[in-house]
Structure formats: structure tokens, C-alpha cells
Structure 1
Amino acid sequence: MNIQKIFAGPRVKKIRNSIGLSQIAMANELDISPSYLNLIERNQRPITVQLILKLSKTYNISPEELEGDADGTVTALKEIFSDSLLQGELPGYEELFEVADVAPNVASGIQKLHEGYRQALLRLSELNAGMSEGQDVSQTALPTDLVQSAMEARDNYYDNLDRSAEKLASELDLGSGMFAALQDRLLKNHRITVQTLPINTMPEWTRRFDKHSMRLFISDRLNSYGRVTELACYLVNCELSDEIDRAVLRLNLKSPEAVKAGRMELMNYAALALLLPYKRFFQTTQRMKYDVEAIAKRFDVSFGEVAYRMTTLSRVDLEGIPFFLQEVDQAGNKVRRLGLRGYPKNSFGGQCPKLSIFKAVSLPQQLLTQIVESQNGQAYFTLNRSTKQSGGAYGENMRQTAIMLACEAEFITDMIYASGGAVDRADVGQNCRLCERPHCAQRAEPPIARPMMFDGSENSISAFNFKV
């Protein structure tokens, strides 16, 4: 009988490096000579079935990790090299196994390049079809636009994913803090070590995983909140991958690229649910009367993370105030909109220049409270503060945004802000084109449903005078 020889040198070396053993130490534990282990690691000797079983028992690993394409890399490479563009480049698939084993980072790079190439072709095809139909392609919706629209339109709570993250949080040993707990979990369950690198070593990334050495690199440009968040994101991607995929299905996204963008959003959601477990976070909000800054200090997270988490308090029997949230950048561009009951785009809007969020973006660390009344008479309470991207070195211009956390004004009595003294007030519209409030000094555009008045004998405080 012809038994296929298994050459798994790079995989054996990866296991050895991940647990910090020398060749001599590992050889002693496996009852083989160091020279024989050296030959195995250089793929000059095949690995025997007996040694596979010994490795599996000694280091608690699955035999499949040594026997073949455990992480699907070779399968992915086979698919790439079956592309008509690359057909005939390989005489066989043996080289792909060698690339996957010896240079896993190169294999990962090939996958990313091919995926980018495939998505570019798809995007060009869509643009070409739109242009042939006379469409303005500058208004073409991007995958990220589709994800944001889907998330705005639904409740910002994913029950199964949230509960899975809460269960994972309960398994962490927080005796030495959250960062140490996440670091320990990655090492024990996934043989991944965490290493912080200086900015000049990793200038363009905040997090990067090296498959070859099984190390997760974190940039020291990040502050303590940012480093913990990066570890949490990676851990939930390792342990809650299936739950994240199932949650993405609820967004009903059509294009593969949008599905990937949606997955990234829900990976961030799961990381936040890990850092701020639902029940404990809910109880804290009740006890501290939704004091965002104080709660952020209690959990040692950022203002923005607490604000986002407050839009998710929709679990049965543990429901919080129905908050919604908007984030904008310094140019007023929408970054994100979410809500416990979806974002109220039709009733609230969020683009009125009188909203304090547009003032807050240029006032670092200042908390602005405001009560606004929409055109339909509904009053809302808004809490506004700027946030800045974590980290950065001297001379770097990090992104600064502002967050508005809002709810119907009737809920203000449940919050600490009810006793906060003077609160700014304003009458607002959805946006200038849909707002018919006359004589508004902040108006940026005329209303589409009212005729303009061009009378040289009078002039309004508004840039646009119209008939009411």
C-alpha cells in the first residue's frame, strides 16, 4: 500500500516557536534526537504517524494541523491559480503546499491581492453597466454605504452574538486587567503571542498578525483603550467567527464585498460586547444614571465606546433608554449612524447646522448638552462630545470626530444630565432642503418645497428668503 509521506517542517517549527521551546527541549519531550527534529523542520524528513500522535498528545494540538490544509490556505491558493489569468503557471499543486507552509504571510498576501483584483473587476463591471444606462457614477453606492444603510435601518442589537461575547467575557481572568486577560487567552487557546512594536517599526498599522511566527503585533501608537480594543477584535474573530457570520446574514447584504464590510462592523460590535458585557454594563448604567464619562472610567474604555454600547441596550427584560447615535468628522461628513430602534432619519434627520454635534467637533473634550425640537414637535435630548483617533506620533494629524448620543427628551429624567444646569435649546429640521423654518441664520440651502423670493427692497437674516 502506498502511504503518502507528510512533510510538515514549518508547521512543527511554528508550534515549537509558539510555546517558546528550543529544538533540544522539544526533542527531549518527544523522545527524538535534536538532529532528527532539525531535519524534520527543514522538510528533509517526513513526519511519522507516531510522531504526529506524540505531538498531538504532548502539546494538545489537532493532528489535522500537521496532516494537511488545516486553515484552508492551500484550497484558497488552488482557487486563485485556477483563474484564467494564471492558468498554466504551475505544473502541479505541490508548490502551493510549500508556499503555504514556508511562507504563510506571502500566501496571505497573494489571497488579498487576488481578492482586490476580483473586487476591482466587479466594481468596473458595475460602473460600466451604470454608465451605459446614463447613470451618474459619482453617486454609485459603495459596499460601505450599503452596510451603513442596513445598520441604520434596524435595531442595533444582535442577541446571539451579544450573549456569546458575554459568555466569553465571563471566562476571562481579569485579575491582572483586561489586556493581560486577552493576551493570556490568545496564548493559551490559540498559541498566539502578543508583541507591542514602536511606531517607526509599524508606521501604517495598529494591528497586524504574522502567521509564520504566530505573533500579533500591536502598535505602541495606541493608548491603553486602543490596545485593549485591538486585542478584543482579534479574539472575537478567532472565537466567535460563526456567530459573527450568522449576524451578518441579518443585514441582508447582496454583494460579497458588502458582506465583508458588514462582517468587520459586527466584529467591532462583538469586541465591544466583550469589553462591556451586557448585564454588568446595563446594571452600571442604571446605577450611574447614564453618566457616559463616569461609566467610561469605571470600565476603563473610551467615551465613544460607552456611547456606542448605549445604543445596544435592547435585551428583553433588560432594556435601557432607546438611544440613537450619530458620528461626524471635522468636515461634517457622516461617519456612522446607529440606534437601539434604528436611526430616526425621517423624524430627526441629523444634518441641521444648529445641532451641537457640529460645534463639538472643534471643542476637544467638552461635553455639550442640548434639547432640540424637530418640525413635527418632537423634542430630543442630545449629548455631544469630540473624540480623537487613538494614538499618534508628533506631527501626525489624527482623525477627530464628534459623537452625538440622543434620545427623546422625556427620558432625561432618568439621566444624570437632568440636574446638570443650563442646557442649550434649538428648533431644528432634518436638513436645510427639507426644513421650512423661515429666517434661519444657519440655513445652508433653500427648501425644495417653497418658492424663493428675490426682492431687492428687503433682505432676510437667512441667506435664502422664501415664501412660507
Structure 2
Amino acid sequence: MKTFIGPKLRRLRGDSAQTQAQMAKALGISTSYVNLLEKNERSVSVPVLLRLLEVYGVDWRDLVEDDDTAKLADLRGVLQDPLFETGRPDLTQLRGALTHSPDLAACFLRLHQAYLAATDQLMSMASAGEGAQAALPKAPEATVHNFFRKHHNYFHELEIAAETFWGGRRVATDDIYAALKDRLRESLGLRVRLAPVAEMPGTLREYSEDRREVILSEALDHPNRVFQLVHVIGLIEHKDVLDSLMSTSGLTDPQGRARCRVELANYFAAAVLMPYGAYLDEILSSKYDFDHVATRFGVSFEQACHRATTLQRSGARGVPFFFLRIDKAGNVSKRFNATDFQLAEYGGACPRLDVHTSFRTPGRIVSQFVEMPDASRFFVFARTVDRPSFTRFAQDVRLAVAMGCSTEHISAIGYAEGHTLSDTTVTPIGINCRICPRVNCDQRAHHAVVRSDPVDERRRGATRYGS
């Protein structure tokens, strides 16, 4: 496999304040070879990579690490904005931009994010009235999502920590809860106490350093009680690992950092309860039967689904999925992504996704084939999940989770058995109504921003936004 490092080599030379001739002399190669490497007209050899490590102290993995897949998906998603409807670059041009001008591509993505934030701020100010103070910083969930996606939703350090969690012991699924309580008491001096709902209304878990105890609400079911205990142990025992990962996140605001630490601890808890190798073997052999896997590992359906998005270890990868969780109003409350599918950051998910209709059939898998505006196709399946309800007067806390993958992987998915693209309906969808270019969609909730389609007062379209 050829490896090209042009832009990174050029940046390294600039940081070292060297000419191409000076770098060539330091590496023991010709100036013309350095020139060709920087232009990506030659692939780098292993001896040159080793020489770069020796001379400049750079880890070769930093030079050859390929994060272009996620960036390419981001670029393709951004360019679906109707703003770029005319003169939209094709896939070859986008790959060329990432290869030869990655910094320019990154600046373009940041500029578009700023444009979206400014647009939403203007819309917020307009709805709040003249003189309203509307400041809309990027939500912590969005910054954390971007951090996880940068890492392809896989953190090797946490996986290694999880693999050594039990110190080589085998703990049966039905013994884990007692083993965790013993560990908290004997190793960390913490008592686990189960509290009535009335004692901690609106709270499911609390870790009190002063009282040296972890309090769990009776509203939690058994899998989530176990999950919360591992989460707390991860926060305490692996603080250094979490701190190290946080230092690379680029997050500076307290809300974002706190949210990121929580999600990293959740990642660790899932890795402990569903060990990478055993989970991958089970998920592949069952053809991604998440009800079966949840039972096998003593976790919830949602936890089993979420874990599948993290199977991105080199040499042992699972099917790349995106994960989406919505409430009954369509608000996206959690998202993780290991695919090219563009998940909504602003507003709700596309109403044509059947994850919304899964509320009509609680607990049943609903599946569909969908097509994005760029013609990419995905297989998506969804199911409702129930969250703890604290009192009989509360509404049912029911959410829906959706998992999706590129249609090239459907042979590995049991939920897709009996369906092929040639004999099934493919539903055209968008990211969300705000930037969806599908003018005549009968589910459109509002006019797409930056579109200025003329309104024909003599004609009524499928929605009030089409004429």
C-alpha cells in the first residue's frame, strides 16, 4: 500500500525552518525526492520514515495516520448545503483537495460551521425580538461528537485498560454486580447503596466523595446499575488515562470538558462489560442480533448498539455503523458515527427515517433502505428503548435508537435478510429539513435556509413550502 505524506512533510519542513535542500541533506536523500514527496508524486519509503523519526523525532504514525475518510465525509456533507447547488465539486476533486491542500479543506469546514452558527444566531434573534441577546456557542454535545469522530469512535488506551480490568480473572455475567461492589469497597473504600426513588428524585446515580459512597436509584434496572458502577470505577481508577485523552481533545469550555469526560468513562464501562474480542466474535456470529448480544453480555439493547460503533480496531473491525437516538419529538439526544452518513447537528433528524415510526411498534425492529441527496445508500434499523420512570404520574420515558451502515455491508446484518436493493423500496432522505435540497418532499417541516424558490400563488404543492 502506497503512503503519501506531502502536506505533513511540507509542514514539518516549515516548522524546522529548512529549505528542501537542507531537509534532503539531513535525511540523506536528493532534493528532487523531497520535492516529489511534498507534491505527493512519490510515496514515502520505510527507510525515509525511520530517518524522519531519527532526525526530527516525529512518530511515523503521526505522518501516515489517515483521517481522510472522516474529513471526506464531512466535506461531502457540507457540500449538500443548497448554497453549493451549482458548481458542486465531485468526489475526485474532494479527494484531491484533501491530498494536496488538507489545511485549506479544514479551514473550509470551520468556515461553514461558523456560517451555520451565525445563521442560527440570526434566526434566534429574529424569533426573540429586536434587541434580544442571542449567543449560541457550539453545544458541548457537538464538540464531543467531533472529538469522538476524529478518533473514529475508538480509543485504544481505554480498550487496553478495560482488557486488564479483572486482572485475568473470569467473572460470570450474573456475578459482576457483586464483584463490582466488592471492588469499590476493598480497593477504593467506597460503599454502594441502593436508595429509594423518593430519596433522590430526578437522580439515577450519585458519587459522594465526602460520604465515601456511590448511591444508585432503585429506578435503575440491573444492567444500568452495573454500568454505573463500572463508570464510577473508570472515573477514579483511570483518571490519568482520561486526563491524557482530554489533553488531546482541544476542548476548553468547562461544559464540553465535563461532557467529554463522562462520555469517555461511558466508553470505558462499555468496553469492560463487552470486551472487544469476545463482543466482536459474538456480534459477527449472530449477524448483529442486538437483542441476543444484550442478553449474552447482560447489558441493555442501547448499550449493545452503542458498543458496535466502537469496533474500529485495526485488523479487527466490525461493520462501521452510525448510532442515533431520538425522543418522541424527533430531537437528537445522542449520536456517534463511524460511517459517511451525515448526522444532523442542528434541528432534528429527517422525518422520513423510520426511526420515528418505531414509536408505533414499541420493542420491535423497524428497518429500511435510505438514499441521501448525494446518492449514497444506507441500511437503517431502529427500535424503541425505555428509560427509568420515577413516578406513576410521569410520562413514559421512551426513546428510539437507530443503527445504520452502508448497503455494501447488508450481507453481514441479520435484520437485512430477505431484502435486497433490487426488490425493496429505497426512501430518499436528507440530513434534516434545514439544509435538505429535496424541494418536493411531502414531509418538509420548513423552507431550507438559503433557498429562494419562487412561490406560485396559483398552485399548492405537497407542503406549504412547495408550489
Normalised to the residue count of structure 1, the TM-score between the two structures is 0.65
Aligned partners of 1:227, 1:172: CA distance in 2, in Å? 21
Aligned partners of 1:208, 1:186: CA distance in 2, in Å? 14
Tell me by how many angstroms 1:214 deviates. Answer: 2.6
Check whether the contact 1:313–1:322 (CA below 8 A) recurs between aligned residues: yes
Paired residue for 1:178, among 176, 179, 192? 176
Change in Cα spacing, 1:290 to 1:350, as seen in structure 2 (3 Å) is farther
Paired residue for 1:390, among 388, 391, 394? 388
Aligned partners of 1:325, 1:211: CA distance in 2, in Å? 34
Check whether the contact 1:207–1:217 (CA below 8 A) recurs between aligned residues: yes
* Aligned 1:315-464 pairs, distance under 5 A: 315-341=313-339, 344-345=342-343, 351-361=349-359, 363-397=361-395, 399-419=397-417, 425-448=426-449, 450-464=451-465
Structure 2 letter corresponding to 1:460: G
Aligned partners of 1:432, 1:203: CA distance in 2, in Å? 37
Structure 1 letter corresponding to 2:308: M
Q: Deviations over 1:367-412 (max 9, x none)?
A: 1101101111111001111222235332233533211111101101
Change in Cα spacing, 1:457 to 1:287, as seen in structure 2 (3 Å) is same
Q: Deviations over 1:332-383 (max 9, x none)?
A: 2221221225763499x98321011222245421211011011111110011
Structure 1 letter corresponding to 2:229: L
Q: 2:241 — aligned with what?
A: 243
Tell me by how many angstroms 1:193 deviates. Answer: 2.3
* Aligned 1:60-459 pairs, distance under 5 A: 137-169=134-166, 171=168, 173-175=170-172, 176-341=174-339, 344-345=342-343, 351-361=349-359, 363-397=361-395, 399-419=397-417, 425-448=426-449, 450-459=451-460
Higher deviation after alignment, 421-430 or 457-466: 421-430
Check whether the contact 1:374–1:427 (CA below 8 A) recurs between aligned residues: yes
Aligned partners of 1:423, 1:201: CA distance in 2, in Å? 52
Tell me by how many angstroms 1:245 deviates. Answer: 1.6
Aligned partners of 2:373, 2:207: CA distance in 1, in Å? 50
Structure 2 letter corresponding to 1:464: Y
SS of aligned partner of 2:383: strand
SS of aligned partner of 1:168: coil
Tell me by how many angstroms 1:450 deviates. Answer: 4.8
CA RMSD for the aligned pairs?
2.8
Higher deviation after alignment, 215-224 or 141-150: 141-150
Aligned partners of 2:277, 2:179: CA distance in 1, in Å? 20
Aligned partners of 2:240, 2:231: CA distance in 1, in Å? 14
SS of aligned partner of 2:198: coil
Structure 2 letter corresponding to 1:309: R
Check whether the contact 1:169–1:277 (CA below 8 A) recurs between aligned residues: no
Check whether the contact 1:193–1:216 (CA below 8 A) recurs between aligned residues: yes
Higher deviation after alignment, 331-340 or 150-159: 150-159
Aligned partners of 1:158, 1:361: CA distance in 2, in Å? 33
Structure 2 letter corresponding to 1:320: G
Tell me by how many angstroms 1:319 deviates. Answer: 0.4
Q: Deviations over 1:246-284 (max 9, x none)?
A: 222232212244222211111111111111111111111
Q: Deviations over 1:285-339 (max 9, x none)?
A: 1111111111111111111101110100011111011111111222222212212
Higher deviation after alignment, 173-182 or 449-458: 449-458
Asked which structure has the greater CA Rg, the reply is: 1
SS of aligned partner of 2:197: coil
Q: How many residue pairs were aligned?
A: 334
Check whether the contact 2:386–2:397 (CA below 8 A) recurs between aligned residues: yes
Aligned partners of 1:200, 1:450: CA distance in 2, in Å? 52
Change in Cα spacing, 1:318 to 1:170, as seen in structure 2 (3 Å) is farther
Structure 2 letter corresponding to 1:186: L
Check whether the contact 2:140–2:256 (CA below 8 A) recurs between aligned residues: yes
Check whether the contact 1:337–1:343 (CA below 8 A) recurs between aligned residues: no
Check whether the contact 2:149–2:338 (CA below 8 A) recurs between aligned residues: no
Q: Deviations over 1:209-238 (max 9, x none)?
A: 344553322111111111111111111112
Check whether the contact 1:156–1:342 (CA below 8 A) recurs between aligned residues: no
Aligned partners of 1:438, 1:258: CA distance in 2, in Å? 36
Q: Deviations over 1:177-199 (max 9, x none)?
A: 22112112112211222221221
Percent sequence identity over aligned pairs: 28
Q: 1:50 — aligned with what?
A: none
Change in Cα spacing, 1:156 to 1:361, as seen in structure 2 (3 Å) is farther
Q: 2:113 — aligned with what?
A: none
Tell me by how many angstroms 1:427 deviates. Answer: 0.9
Aligned partners of 1:233, 1:171: CA distance in 2, in Å? 20
Aligned partners of 1:233, 1:424: CA distance in 2, in Å? 42
Structure 2 letter corresponding to 1:365: G
Check whether the contact 1:222–1:390 (CA below 8 A) recurs between aligned residues: yes
Change in Cα spacing, 1:200 to 1:341, as seen in structure 2 (3 Å) is same
Aligned partners of 1:211, 1:433: CA distance in 2, in Å? 45
Tell me by how many angstroms 1:439 deviates. Answer: 2.7
Aligned partners of 1:256, 1:220: CA distance in 2, in Å? 30
Structure 1 letter corresponding to 2:259: A
Structure 2 letter corresponding to 1:151: F
Normalised to the residue count of structure 2, the TM-score between the two structures is 0.65
